């Protein structure tokens, strides 16, 4: 079971190196989860050499996976002559299901290790057997609060309090290309503030679902690479998504998932409010309810049919539909995809094109990429390639 997307803690235990008996579990929650033979989650003896490891692994995150569980700890060594064997070695470990994604807990594990180390150095919290007994209550509250509230605030003494909060981790965003168009998923004006990076503040002013990244960089007067980094940052936090450059020469086709548009009534309402031009009646008497017509229009998009021809064939302008928003809705929802055009130079000997363009005519670079790189429109690029023996692959 997960709370707000975070893995559930199964156990927390504190282990120390005993100068005679070796690694020992001194405190555990729930009781017996580590030391009891009947209900233990892990075989402590089998992994004890990794719970209290050699000095080379101390001060590092250590993750151990057993048959059913995952143990994450951050072993610490404090060297001082007052300790037996001149060192105190301990580890506060967190136990999860074997397949749990523990990335969000790793900063918490490291911070707790740092807190215990600081308490020991400053006030001998762990060396004092009486003070150490309070650790049992601390880990009990720690486990309960993190599982139920994803944060905790635990007073230790008059001068120290443990403050922890779990934060979600996101996958790294995909690499952003100059020819991609950012579309906002949130209102950037409401989330932006003066503390944001100046480059970011300049860039977001030009994000309108029409401008591609290169054009945004030029309009904001920032470096292309910095503009791409800003887009990747916004992608990471889910503030934007990337789509293709909209042009009426584009070709689109539907995926089988277009059936979701029929299954989800919320999508139908969202589609109507998004693609119908303001002031248009969504129930036009001439065609009946507009949604069935919109659905049939999506299904009529296919390979080999440029958007401009599709508009004429289906008399889309008469329906009061915003074609750009019609296409972007399908792309954003994932049931519509762009059929890209890839030029291939068949005969290099009969080509007068510049080498910078010729090297891209190998079927690996589509029109959007080439046109954006050299600043040509689709019509200009068509004219440029018409004099050369160039074939096209659509996929």
Rounded CA-CA distance 108/99 in Å is: 19
- Contact residues for 325 (Cβ-Cβ < 8 A; gap 6+): 274, 275
Phi, psi of 95 (to 5 degrees): -115, 135
Cβ contact 306:361 at 8 Å: no
Res 286: pLDDT: 41
Angle at 227 between CA 331 and CA 197, to 5 degrees: 115
Q: Within 10 Å of residue 68's Cβ, how many Cβ atoms?
A: 11
3-state secondary structure of 81: coil
The three state secondary structure string of 222-283 is CCHHHHHHHHHHHHHCCCEEEECCCCCCCEEEECHHHHHHHHCHHHHHHHHHHHECCCCCCC
Domains of the chain: 9-165 (3.30.450), 181-243 (1.10.10), 251-339 (no CATH), 341-394 (no CATH)
Contact 303, 394 (CB under 8 A): yes
The first and second tokens of residue 286, run together, are 């001439």
Instruction: Find out whether 244 and 250 touch, Cβ atoms under 8 Å.
Output: yes
Choose among 276, 329, 338: nearest CA to 305.
338
Confirm if 34 and 42 have CB atoms less than 8 A apart. yes
Q: Would you state the pLDDT for residue 284?
A: 47
Contact 166, 104 (CB under 8 A): yes
CA terminus-to-terminus distance, the chain: 42
Distance of alpha carbon 248 from alpha carbon 316, whole angstroms = 13
pTM of the full structure: 0.70
Q: State the pLDDT at residue 2.
A: 53
74, 92 contact by CB (below 8 A): yes
167 Cβ contact list (under 8 Å, min separation 6): 104, 107
- Closest by CA position to 250, among listed 195, 178, 190, 311: 311
pLDDT of residue 195: 82
pLDDT value for 285 = 39
CA pair distance 122, 201, nearest whole angstrom = 44
Given CA atoms 263, 265, 266, 270 in this order, what sign does their dihedral have?
A: positive
pLDDT at 85: 84
Query: How far, in whole angstroms, is CA 92 from its chain's centroid?
Result: 29
| Distance (Å, whole) CA 28 – CA 13 | 4
Q: Are the CB atoms for 120 and 78 separated by under 8 Å?
A: yes
Q: Which residues of the chain have pLDDT under 70?
A: 1-4, 280-289
Are the CB atoms for 275 and 329 separated by under 8 Å?
Answer: yes
């Amino acid at each position: 079971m997960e709370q707000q997307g975070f893995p559930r803690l199964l156990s927390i235990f504190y282990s120390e190196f005993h100068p005679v008996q070796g690694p020992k579990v001194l405190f555990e929650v729930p009781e017996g989860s580590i030391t009891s033979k009947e209900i233990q989650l892990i075989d402590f003896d089998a992994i004890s050499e990794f719970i209290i490891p050699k000095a080379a692994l101390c001060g590092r995150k250590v993750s151990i996976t057993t048959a059913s569980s995952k143990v994450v700890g951050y072993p610490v060594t404090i060297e001082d002559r007052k300790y037996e064997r001149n060192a105190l070695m301990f580890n506060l470990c967190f136990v999860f299901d074997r397949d749990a994604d523990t990335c969000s807990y790793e900063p918490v594990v490291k911070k707790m290790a740092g807190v215990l180390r600081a308490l020991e150095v400053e006030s001998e919290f762990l060396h004092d057997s009486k003070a150490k007994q309070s650790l049992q209550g601390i880990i009990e509250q720690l486990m309960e609060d993190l599982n139920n509230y994803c944060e905790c605030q635990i007073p230790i003494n008059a001068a120290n309090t443990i403050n922890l909060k779990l934060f979600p981790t996101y996958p790294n965003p995909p690499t952003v290309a100059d020819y991609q168009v950012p579309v906002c998923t949130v209102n950037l004006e409401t989330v932006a503030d003066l503390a944001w990076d100046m480059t970011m503040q300049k860039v977001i002013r030009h994000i309108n679902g029409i401008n591609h990244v290169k054009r945004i960089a030029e309009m904001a007067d920032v470096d292309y690479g910095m503009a791409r980094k800003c887009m990747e940052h916004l992608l990471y936090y889910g503030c934007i998504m990337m789509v293709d450059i909209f042009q009426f020469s584009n070709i689109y086709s539907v995926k089988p998932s277009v059936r979701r548009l029929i299954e989800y009534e919320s999508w139908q309402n969202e589609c109507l409010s998004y693609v119908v031009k303001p002031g248009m009646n969504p129930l036009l008497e001439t065609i009946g309810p507009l949604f069935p017509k919109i659905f049939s229009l999506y299904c009529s998009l296919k390979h080999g049919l440029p958007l401009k021809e599709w508009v004429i064939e289906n008399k889309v302008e008469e329906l009061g539909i915003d074609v750009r928003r019609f296409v972007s809705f399908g792309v954003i929802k994932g049931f519509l995809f762009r059929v890209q055009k890839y030029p291939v130079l068949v005969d290099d000997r009969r080509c007068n094109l510049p080498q910078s363009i010729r090297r891209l005519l190998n079927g690996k670079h589509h029109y959007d990429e080439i046109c954006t790189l050299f600043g040509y429109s689709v019509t200009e690029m068509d004219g440029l390639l018409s004099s050369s023996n160039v074939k096209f692959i659509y996929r």
